[in-house]
């Protein structure tokens, strides 16, 4: 009877045993409830084919989708104290960090890399919402500043993919201090006359929106992304009024002038490459739409002759002549249209 116990019964158990299925084999669309095979979703850049819903991407997947051939060099990020305030609520802050690091494979919420976009060198940083809601702490702030300064050293454009719930409460005032520090780094980019392009993804809220995420030269939003400072529910409870259904969504903030353009994820690489080329006056790449000047047979150098740069890297026209106003006062033209020397009353 031993052969029955040792051979037959184990084979029967193996036949009847339910096979374990991976948890992420199928993904449900939050908007329509459609079930999508994970590999198909990944191949489609995490855009649901039926509803066109843009799901969140990890920082690593975002950088691979951005750079040519998915290849990039990781930007060296400084080390910071892990738990400077020894914070604890119902769980230790260090335990939360360990869980997030195990879940995402990241040291903190920001991953930065340097590589090429349509052949042109750039530096990019991505906030990963899966790491404690992409919250801004000391490590995340240092990472963003280091990435911006790496762009200055390399003399290349800087692209930021923002996704955050705001400042990290477990680090208190140290977290809030990252907002002005990152603003100073943005100013360094402007002084170096380098483009700073921000891609606002779902969601971008809180202190991140109140600081460096809204200081770019160009602001691009993905469709349906939540963009704002306080959330809609908090605003409704404060003003006690019903808000529109699309309030603070990409299309809504675009209509109200808060972002420059809403771009589908499949068209994002080409749009970013085109903007970088325009702002740096480089030769346009093969996958980038030609400019009007090139279509007319002019070379980029001829088309851009007589153009200078403003402090934020954008082209401005040199106006040598001076205009005389109706009162006879002579004023010089400014690059932003403002009058730097207003006429004095006689």
Q: How confident is the model at residue 95 (pLDDT cuts 50, 70, 90)?
A: very high
Angle at 216 between CA 53 and CA 112, to 5 degrees: 70
Residue 95: exposed, middle, or buried by beta-carbon count in 10 A (0-12, 13-18, 19+)? Answer: exposed
Three-state DSSP at 103 gives helix
Closest CA to 189 of 143, 142, 157: 157
| pLDDT of res. 312 | 38
The average pLDDT across 314-342 equals 38
CA dist., res. 174 & res. 157, Å (int): 28
Whole-number percent of the chain with pLDDT over 90: 70
Q: How confident is the model at residue 53 (pLDDT cuts 50, 70, 90)?
A: very high
Q: How confident is the model at residue 11 (pLDDT cuts 50, 70, 90)?
A: confident
Three-state DSSP at 340 gives coil
133 vs 2, higher pLDDT: 133
| pLDDT of res. 17 | 62
Specify the pTM. Answer: 0.76
Residue range 219-239, pLDDT digits in tens = 999 999 999 999 889 999 999
In the chain, ranges of CATH 3.90.226.10 domains: 57-280
Cis previous bond, 203, omega within 30: yes
> Alpha helix locations (H) across 68-193?
93-104, 138-154, 172-176, 178-191
Q: Is residue 289's pLDDT more than 50?
A: no
Q: Which CATH architecture has domain 57-280?
A: Alpha-Beta Complex (3.90)
Closest CA to 54 of 236, 215, 227, 274: 227
The average pLDDT across 247-274 equals 96
Closest CA to 61 of 79, 38, 95: 38
Residue range 117-168, pLDDT digits in tens = 999 999 999 999 999 999 999 999 999 999 999 999 999 999 999 999 999 9
CA dist., res. 92 & res. 86, Å (int): 8
Residues sharing a CB contact under 8 Å with residue 135, sequence separation 6 or more, in sequence order: 109, 164, 165, 166, 167, 168, 169, 175
| pLDDT of res. 286 | 42
Residue range 170-182, pLDDT digits in tens = 999 999 999 999 9
Closest CA to 318 of 305, 329, 328, 330: 305
245 vs 12, higher pLDDT: 245
Q: Is residue 291's pLDDT more than 70?
A: no
């Amino acid at each position: 009877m031993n052969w029955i116990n040792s051979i037959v019964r184990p084979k029967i158990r193996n036949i009847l045993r339910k096979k374990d299925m991976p948890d992420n084999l199928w993904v449900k669309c939050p908007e329509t409830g459609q079930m999508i095979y994970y590999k198909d979703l990944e191949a489609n850049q995490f855009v649901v084919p039926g509803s066109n819903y843009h799901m969140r991407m990890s920082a690593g997947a975002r950088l691979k989708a951005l750079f040519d051939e998915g290849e990039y060099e990781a930007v060296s990020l400084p080390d910071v104290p892990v738990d400077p305030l020894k914070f604890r609520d119902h769980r230790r802050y260090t335990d939360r960090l360990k869980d997030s690091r195990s879940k995402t494979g990241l040291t903190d919420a920001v991953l930065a890399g340097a590589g090429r976009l349509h052949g042109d060198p750039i530096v990019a940083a991505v906030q990963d919402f899966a790491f404690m809601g992409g919250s801004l702490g000391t490590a995340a702030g240092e990472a963003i500043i280091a990435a911006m300064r790496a762009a200055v050293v390399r003399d290349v454009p800087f692209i930021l993919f923002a996704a955050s719930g705001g400042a990290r409460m477990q680090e208190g005032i140290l977290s809030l201090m990252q907002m002005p520090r990152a603003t100073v780094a943005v100013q360094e980019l402007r002084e170096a006359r380098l483009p700073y392009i921000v891609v606002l993804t779902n969601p971008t809220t809180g202190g991140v929106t109140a600081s460096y995420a809204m200081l770019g030269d160009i602001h691009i939003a993905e469709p349906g992304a939540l963009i704002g400072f306080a959330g809609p529910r908090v605003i409704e409870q404060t003003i006690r009024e019903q808000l529109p259904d699309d309030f603070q969504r990409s299309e809504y903030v675009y209509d109200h002038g808060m972002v420059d353009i809403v771009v589908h994820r499949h068209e994002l690489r080409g749009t970013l490459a085109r903007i970088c080329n325009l702002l740096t006056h480089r030769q346009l790449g093969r996958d980038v739409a030609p400019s009007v000047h090139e279509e007319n047979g002019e070379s980029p150098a001829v088309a851009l002759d007589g153009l200078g740069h403003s402090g934020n890297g954008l082209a401005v026209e040199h106006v040598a002549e001076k205009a005389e106003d109706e009162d006879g006062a002579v004023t010089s033209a400014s690059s932003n249209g403002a009058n730097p020397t207003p006429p004095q009353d006689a």
